[in-house]
Structure 1
Amino acid sequence: MPQALAEVSDKPQGTARPASRAPRSTPAARTVLVRAAAVLVLLGVWQLLALAGFWPPVILPGPVQVWDQLLITSDAANGQGGYAGSTLLERLGVSLRRVGYGSAYGILIGVVLGLVMGLVPLVRAVTEPAVTFLRALPPLAYLSLLVIWFGIDEEPKVYLLMIAAFPPVAVATATAVTGVNRQYVEAAQALGASRGHVIASVILPASAPEIITGVRLAVGIAYSSVVAAETVNGADGIGGMVLNAQRYNQTSVVILGLFVIGITGLLIDTAIVGVQRALSPWRGLV
C-alpha cells in the first residue's frame, strides 16, 4: 500500500485535468449589463407613472408617445417634412455643426493661450483674471450683446459657443504646463533640444491628459449652451425644435429633444475619452 501511494505521488502533478469552469464575464461586459438594466428600470418606472395617470399626458407623456414623436420627426414624408419643415436628423446636424465650429475655435484659442500662460508668468498674471471672469459668466448672459454686435445669423451662435468653450481649456492647459516635471524639461535641454522641440516633444505630451480633460469640459459646456444659442433665430436646430414645441405644449417633443441632446452629448464625451486613452495610455497605471 505505501508503495502504491509512492507510485501515485511520483506521477507528474500536471497530468490531472482541471475542472471545467464557466466563463466569467469581463468587467466591461458587466458594466454594460448593469447600465442597460438601469435604463430599463427607469423606462419601466416612467411608463408606470404615465399609466397611473397622476399627471395628464401633456405634463408627463409616456415613453411610447416620445417614441412616436421620434418616428414622426424623423420622417420627411409625413406631410410636414419631419417637424416644422426639418427632420430630426437635419436639426441635429445643424446643432452639431454649430457646436463643432464653436468648440473647435474655442479649443484652439484655449490651448494656445493656456500654453503661453503656462510658459510666461507675466502673460498669466495679465490674462488669468479675464479668463476667470469669462469662465464665471453664464453663456446666456452675453448672448444679447453678441446679437447686438453680430446680428441674428450664425455668427453670434458660433461666437457664443466659442467664448463658452475656451476658458476651461485655457485654465486646464496653463495648469498642466506649469505642473510638468522640470526634470523632463532639463533632460531634454541637456540633450540639445531647442525650446520649440521641448514644447512639442515634452511639455505638450506630458500635459495632454489635463488638456483633454479641459476639452471634455469645454465641449460639454458648448453643447449645453447650444439651446440658448438657438433661441435667437435658431428654429432649424435641435434647440429651436425644443423651443417651438414648448410654445405649443408639445411635451413629448421637448422630452425627445432633451434625450437627443443628452445621448449625442454622451457619445461625443465617450469619443473624447477614447482619444484621451489613446494619447496617454500610461494614465492611471503609474
Structure 2
Amino acid sequence: MAQTQAAAASTSATTRATAVVDAADPGPAPSGPGPREVRRRQRLRRLALHTTSLAVLVLGWWLVTRAGLVRPLYLPSPGAVWDALVRANTDHPISPGSERVVRGEQNYYLWEHLLASLQRIAVGVGGGVLLGVPLGLLMGTTWLGTLLEPYLNFLRSLPPLAYIGLLIVWFGIGDTSKIWLLFLAAFPPIAMSTISGVRGVREDQVNAVRSLGASRRQVLSAVVLPATLPEVLTGVRVATGFAWTTVVAAEIANGIPGIGGLAYLAGEQLQSALVIACIVVIGLAAIALDLGLKSLERVLVPWRGKA
C-alpha cells in the first residue's frame, strides 16, 4: 500500500513538472508571413487592383468609340490619343505629302512643353515657400497674425482667373505674369499651414526649453521649427497641387511652350485627341510630383505618425 501511494505521488510530481516545463516552453512559433511580406503582398494587391481598373476603363472607352456612340470630336479613341501623343514627341510633316517637317507640336516636343510648365511651377511654389514659411512663423508667434490673417484668407479665396487679366496688365504676357499667378496660388496654403503648425506646438515643450535658459531664437529653431515642419510640408504638397491645377489658366496667354498652353491651344483648334493627351500627361505629372513630395516628407520628418 505504501509503495502504491509513493508511486502515485511520484507520478503526480512528474506530471506537474512536465506541465511547468510545457508552460515555460511554448514550442516553436507558428510559421507565417512577416510584416515585410505582408506589406509586399498588400502593395501587389493594390497594384493589381489599379491595373485591372485601368484596363477596364480603357476597354470601356475603346468600346464606346468603336461602337460610334460618341462622335470623335467629343471623345476620340484611345488609339487616336496615342497617335497624338506620339506625334507630339516626334518630327513629322506639317501636312500629308508636305516636305516641311515640324518638331512635335508648336515646334516643341511634348516633354519640352511639360518641362517649361514645371520650371514655372518650381519658381512660383519656391517663391511661396520662401515668403510663406517665414511670414507664417511670424503670424503664428506675433500680433501680425491678427492683423494679416483676414487678408490671407481673402487671397486664398480668390480663383486664379479672377486676377490673371490684371497680372497681364501689370507684367505683360511673358513668363513674369505666369510665375506671379502660380506664386499667388501657392503662397496662401503654405502660409496658412505654417500658421497652423506654429499654433499646434505644445506649450509645455516651449516652457521646458525656456526654463533651461533658451533664447527666443533657440526656442524657434529647437522646438517650433521641428514641430511645424510636418504641417509646412503638407502645405507645400497642397500648394504644388493647387499651382499645378492653375497652370492652364497661367498659360492661356502666350503659354507656348507649356503643357497648359498646349492643351488650351489644342482645344481652340478642336484637336480633341491632343487635348486628352495633354490631360493625361498633366495628371501623371501631378501624381509623380505628389509622390516625390511624400518621399521627401518621409525623409525630412521620419517621426511623423509615431508616438
Residue of structure 2 in register with 1:3 after alignment: none
Rate the CA distance shift 1:192–1:18 in 2: closer, same or farther, 3 A. closer
1:76-120, CA deviations, whole angstroms, 9 ceiling, x for partnerless residues? 466220012110011111000001100100122111111100010
Aligned residues of 1:173 and 1:214 also touching (Cα < 8 A): yes
SS at match of 1:26: helix
- Per-residue deviation at 1:19? 7.6
The whole-number CA distance in structure 1 between the counterparts of 2:273 and 2:145 is 48
Please state if 1:96 is matched with 2:118. yes
Residue among 178, 182, 206 paired with 2:203: 182
Residue among 209, 212, 217 paired with 2:230: 209
The whole-number CA distance in structure 2 between the counterparts of 1:254 and 1:169 is 31
Please state if 1:112 is matched with 2:134. yes
Residue of structure 1 in register with 2:12 after alignment: none
Supply the AA of the counterpart residue of 2:51: A
SS at match of 2:88: helix
Moved more, 37-46 or 79-88: 37-46
Residue of structure 1 in register with 2:186 after alignment: 165
- Structure 2 alignment gaps of length 5 or more: 1-14, 94-100
Residue of structure 1 in register with 2:82 after alignment: 67
Share of identical aligned residues, percent? 40
Aligned residues of 1:102 and 1:161 also touching (Cα < 8 A): yes
- Per-residue deviation at 1:18? 7.3
The whole-number CA distance in structure 2 between the counterparts of 1:70 and 1:140 is 28
Supply the AA of the counterpart residue of 2:185: A
- Per-residue deviation at 1:20? 8.8
Please state if 1:85 is matched with 2:118. no
The whole-number CA distance in structure 2 between the counterparts of 1:107 and 1:19 is 50
Residue of structure 2 in register with 1:34 after alignment: 49
Residue of structure 2 in register with 1:274 after alignment: 295
Residue among 32, 47, 50 paired with 2:62: 47
Supply the AA of the counterpart residue of 1:92: L
Residue of structure 1 in register with 2:268 after alignment: 247
Residue of structure 2 in register with 1:131 after alignment: 152
1:154-203, CA deviations, whole angstroms, 9 ceiling, x for partnerless residues? 11000010011100111111111011001111122222222112111211
SS at match of 2:201: coil
Figure out how many residues of one structure are paired with residues of the other and give that number: 279
Supply the AA of the counterpart residue of 1:33: A
- Per-residue deviation at 1:212? 1.1
The whole-number CA distance in structure 1 between the counterparts of 2:86 and 2:264 is 19
1:191-250, CA deviations, whole angstroms, 9 ceiling, x for partnerless residues? 222211211121111111111111111111111111101111112111111111112211
Supply the AA of the counterpart residue of 1:57: P
The whole-number CA distance in structure 2 between the counterparts of 1:29 and 1:200 is 41
Residue among 191, 194, 212 paired with 2:215: 194
Aligned residues of 1:73 and 1:83 also touching (Cα < 8 A): yes
Moved more, 274-283 or 91-100: 274-283
Q: CA RMSD in A?
A: 2.5
Aligned residues of 1:139 and 1:225 also touching (Cα < 8 A): yes
Per the normalisation by structure 2, the TM-score is 0.84
Residue among 67, 73, 81 paired with 1:58: 73
- Structure 1 alignment gaps of length 5 or more: 1-5
Q: Which has the larger radius of gyration?
A: 2
The whole-number CA distance in structure 2 between the counterparts of 1:144 and 1:20 is 63
The whole-number CA distance in structure 2 between the counterparts of 1:18 and 1:111 is 51
Moved more, 29-38 or 171-180: 29-38
